[in-house]
Amino acid sequence: MIDQIFPIQLLFIWIRGVIVEDLDEIKEKINQKKNEVVQKNIFENTEKNEVVEVKQDKKSELVEDMFEQAVVHQVSTNKELQTKVLDTAKTFTETKMQTIATNVNTEYKEANFNNKKDACESYGFNEKTTPVWATNIMTWGYNVMLAIWLFIGSFTFMPVIFIAKKISVGLKKTWIAIVCAIILYAGITFVPILLALL
């Protein structure tokens, strides 16, 4: 029985060795490919010795390939072109940053307007991009007018509304409560005036 197991074990060891050798070869090939791939800076002045395969039936593809190589060559060797590319990239970046800053400023103005919408609308403004200083002034003016309105309302309509709400709790009919509140308020207000005149 030992004689039968031993050859099987040898077979497994041999297969394992072949697989390990194959894996080692594959790893070595991958490392070679990695070493062949070289990252190039397009602004370095390096000469390329590339061979272009000529495809006789695909002339347009050949022209496109040549054009791409010419562009790469120009970008890698022409200092003036490199400067233009860098200037354009700088302008592009600055433009994008300015656009983002403008969008953030607009969102801030919209949020400020939405927080003070009643004050702005009382002055007739409904643009969400109203400047912040203007919304602050409108809010101040609105608060002054609101204070005046509250002071006047405390002696005119607020008592009627207050009494009408209290009466409507018992009567369950709003219009009867309003009529009773007006009569009651008129009586409370005008009876002392009439008595003072007599």
For 17-60, the pLDDT digits (tens) are: 555 566 667 677 776 766 654 444 445 555 555 555 554 556 77
My answer on whether 142 and 65 are in the same domain is yes
My answer on whether 74 and 119 are in the same domain is yes
pLDDT of residue 92: 93
pLDDT of residue 50: 57
Residue 2 binned pLDDT confidence (cut-offs 50, 70, 90): very low
Whether 46 and 76 have beta carbons less than 8 Å apart is answered as: yes
For 113-154, the pLDDT digits (tens) are: 999 998 988 888 888 888 899 999 999 999 999 999 999 888
Indicate whether 95 pLDDT > 90.
Answer: yes
Domain-located, residue 18: no
For residue 113, the tally of other CB atoms under 10 A from its CB is 23
pTM across the whole model: 0.42
- 126, 148, 170 — which closes off a domain? 148
Domain-located, residue 161: yes
85 burial level (CB within 10 Å; 0-12, 13-18, 19+): middle
Residue 195 binned pLDDT confidence (cut-offs 50, 70, 90): confident
My answer on whether 158 and 141 are in the same domain is no
d(CA 14, CA 64): 52
Selected residue with higher pLDDT from 143 and 192? 143
Domain-located, residue 103: yes
My answer on whether 137 and 189 are in the same domain is no
Domain count, the chain: 2
Domain that holds residue 198: 154-198
